[in-house]
Amino acid sequence: MFGHYNVPLSIAQEGISLSVQKDGKNLIYKRDCLGEQFEKHILAGKGKILLNPVEPVNRPKALTSYLLIEFEKALLSKPKETRTIFLRFPLEIGVYISTDTDFEILDIFTLTKQKFTLYGDPRNGVICKYWKSPVYSTIPSLSTLQEGLIDLAVTNTNSHWIELTKAVFNAYGMKLYYNNKTVSMKANINIKTKDTAETEFIDTPLQKGMKKSLEIYASRKISIVKPKFIMEFGL
Amino acid sequence: MILNKVLYRSVTVFDLILVAIILVLAMIIGKVVSLYLRRFLKEKLERGHLEILVKIVSYAIAVIALLMILPILGVKLSGLLVAGGIAGLAIGFASQSVIGNLISGLFLMVERPIQIGNTVDIDGTVGIVEDIHIISTTLRTFDGPLVRLPNQKVFTANITSYAANVARRFEYVVGIRYSDDADKAIEIIKNLIKQHPLTLKNPAPMVFVDSLGDSSVNIIVRIWAPATEWFAVKTELLWKIKKALEQEGIEIPFPQRVVWFGDEKRAPQFKGPESTKDSSGDTP
């Protein structure tokens, strides 16, 4: 489903149907995703459509730029050791319209259930998009349109065994890659102490030949926001 | 020549024109810089921070302009150090409330108990902070009007900020009949909360039987939501809870009272409308 399309177009797949059709001299975009319908008039006669995964923090409302993934089972990390695990994350699909030089987001939709949570306390904490994921040691098979995969390198820089139950990521640093089978991100979590860790993304595809997504948060060009996230309210 | 005409001391007409030009230039520069700061930093800074930055830059330009103007008008800046104390004393007595508001305004900007865009309650005035000026603070109440509050009042008032925390809890009391299954009602309510995307997973919602009331079993529902969304969630969920409970045959009862008659022989008279008719209006 992901990729570039010329208009007019019509796609129907896994409960999603979307189309861009001529409406007089202009275009009309229509989308139906699990019964939720959306329409937008496009004041242009032609254009290209790009469909790709975007940072999963926009639906149902862009309240936060943080994604918290809770592990179904806690991890115990060995001192001074780095191990790689795989986590699932919810997918949001971005529809862009483009001219030759410029892309503009037209719509974002998702097939997954949405939930928010609070990381930390109500005074100092942050609202995060919430997702619960099993922890995998090898790459699992997923539904491409519902969930993506985070390749997470867990490094325990501490000299004690440390338990990890969740990871919080900042959408400003997310680097999404996709192919026909998988949507992926690569990230690190560096455990500093029993209660603190730092997460950051790496701009590398999980597999060779994957295409890079056009991200919403990266395209806003906000340079003063740090892409790393410091988890200081517990692991 | 008229430009060289001395008006007082060594101040000439040319000096006055120069002062006017500096004032106009300072105003233009202030406006342009404010406009560009707002335009370029609009997406990079919070609105409250941006407004404070714009004010600081505007005041700095005004102070620089003043420092340029004073020597032209023959005022020696070194003399101001001595005169400043005396003038300050005089101004202080003459305009206590203005100075009080001004100093309170500075403290409000430094301590920042409220920020632009916050929903606050300042001594009973509830609204959204529109702007924090150097002398006063303006609130926009929820029915529309702007309320101007002197900064001294704001600084000394009890302030409740509804946006200080990122999350907020709200509560319902849901009464069900004594004949209904409270466990089932709790399960229905918990499921509804779980399915709503804007109710927070953590802190976890609480749903429990709180009291056995006169007419109903009272279930308390406590839900956390993002501070920006809590009111919309609160108004939406209550009706959904009511409908979901009714769909499962659980009803929210009207207040009711069971009346027992002391005179057993007369009791049958009050069993129904028919018997009431027969009782010739002889009610207890």
Q: How far off is chain A from B41, nearest CA to CA, in Å?
A: 10
Q: Which among A63, A220, A222 has CB closest to B228?
A: A63
Residue B276 has pLDDT above 50, yes or no: no
Instruction: Looking at the structure, tell me whether residues B17 and B75 fall in a common domain.
Output: yes
Instruction: Looking at the structure, tell me whether residues B96 and B112 fall in a common domain.
Output: no
Q: How far is CA B251 from CA B181, B238, B243, in A?
A: 10, 14, 9
pLDDT mean over B125-153: 86
CA B256, CA B253: separation in Å to the nearest integer?
Answer: 8
B89-119, pLDDT tens digit by residue? 666 666 677 777 777 777 777 777 788 888 8
Token reading at B251: 């009803």
CA A16, CA A34: separation in Å to the nearest integer?
Answer: 7
Q: How far off is chain A from B91, nearest CA to CA, in Å?
A: 41
pLDDT of residue B12: 83
Instruction: Looking at the structure, tell me whether residues B101 and B112 fall in a common domain.
Output: no
B37-84, pLDDT tens digit by residue? 888 777 666 666 777 778 888 888 888 888 888 888 877 767 666 666
Token reading at A43: 């004041």
Instruction: Looking at the structure, tell me whether residues B154 and B177 fall in a common domain.
Output: no
Q: How far off is chain B from A200, nearest CA to CA, in Å?
A: 21
Last residue of a domain, one of B89, B105, B121: B105
B63-72 residues labelled b (16+ CB within 10 A) or e (exposed): eebeeebeeb
Q: Which residues pair with A117 in a beta bridge?
A: A128
Residue B169 has pLDDT above 80, yes or no: yes
CB atoms within 10 A of CB A32: 16
Instruction: Looking at the structure, tell me whether residues B178 and B153 fall in a common domain.
Output: no
CB contact under 8 A, A118 and B166: yes
pLDDT mean over B122-126: 85
pLDDT of residue B281: 38
Instruction: Looking at the structure, tell me whether residues B95 and B119 fall in a common domain.
Output: no
Q: How far off is chain B from A3, nearest CA to CA, in Å?
A: 29
Q: Is residue B93 part of a domain?
A: yes
pLDDT of residue A135: 92
* Residues across chain A: 235
A9-42, pLDDT tens digit by residue? 888 888 888 888 888 888 889 998 888 889 989 8
CA A187, CA A182: separation in Å to the nearest integer?
Answer: 16
CA B156, CA B101: separation in Å to the nearest integer?
Answer: 11
Contact map slice: A 55-74 vs B, CB within 8 A: 60-61, 63-64
Instruction: Looking at the structure, tell me whether residues B66 and B117 fall in a common domain.
Output: no
Q: Is residue B275 part of a domain?
A: no
Q: Is residue B262 part of a domain?
A: no
| Structural domain of A172 | 3-231
| ipTM for the whole complex | 0.85
Q: Which among A114, A119, A122 has CB closest to B197?
A: A114
Instruction: Looking at the structure, tell me whether residues B153 and B187 fall in a common domain.
Output: no
CATH assignment at residue B240: 3.30.70.100
Q: Are A166 and A69 in contact (CB under 8 A)?
A: yes
Q: Are A210 and A177 in contact (CB under 8 A)?
A: yes
Count helices and strands (H / E) in chain A. 1, 20
Q: Is residue B264 part of a domain?
A: no
Residue B217 has pLDDT above 80, yes or no: yes
Q: Annotate B206-227 with DSSP letters as a single string.
A: EEEEEEE-SSSEEEEEEEEEET
Q: Are B197 and A114 in contact (CB under 8 A)?
A: yes
Chain A nearest-CA residue for B199:
A116
B177-187, pLDDT tens digit by residue? 888 888 999 99
**Number of domains chain A is built from:** 1
Partner A contacted by B249 (CB < 8 A): no
A176-209 residues labelled b (16+ CB within 10 A) or e (exposed): bbbbeebbbbbbbbbbbeeeebbbbbeeebbeee
CB contact under 8 A, A118 and B164: no
B142-163, pLDDT tens digit by residue? 888 888 988 888 888 888 887 7
Token reading at A232: 């200081």
Contact map slice: A 206-225 vs B, CB within 8 A: 220, 222-224
Q: Is residue B282 part of a domain?
A: no
Q: Which among B44, B168, B202 has CB closest to A222?
A: B44
CATH assignment at residue B139: 2.30.30.60
| Structural domain of B93 | 10-105
Q: Is residue B223 part of a domain?
A: yes
**Number of domains chain B is built from:** 3
Q: Is residue B120 part of a domain?
A: yes
Q: What is the pLDDT along chain A (235 residues), one digit of tens a residue?
A: 888 888 888 888 888 888 888 888 888 899 988 888 899 898 888 888 888 899 898 888 888 889 999 999 999 988 888 999 999 999 999 999 887 778 888 899 998 889 999 998 888 889 999 999 999 998 888 877 889 999 999 999 888 899 999 999 988 888 899 988 889 999 999 998 888 899 988 888 888 888 888 888 764 544 555 578 888 888 8
Q: Is residue B151 part of a domain?
A: yes
pLDDT of residue B188: 92
Instruction: Looking at the structure, tell me whether residues B78 and B115 fall in a common domain.
Output: no
Cβ–Cβ pairs < 8 A, chains A and B: 51
Give chain A's end-to-end CA distance (angstroms, integer). 36
CA B253, CA B212: separation in Å to the nearest integer?
Answer: 13
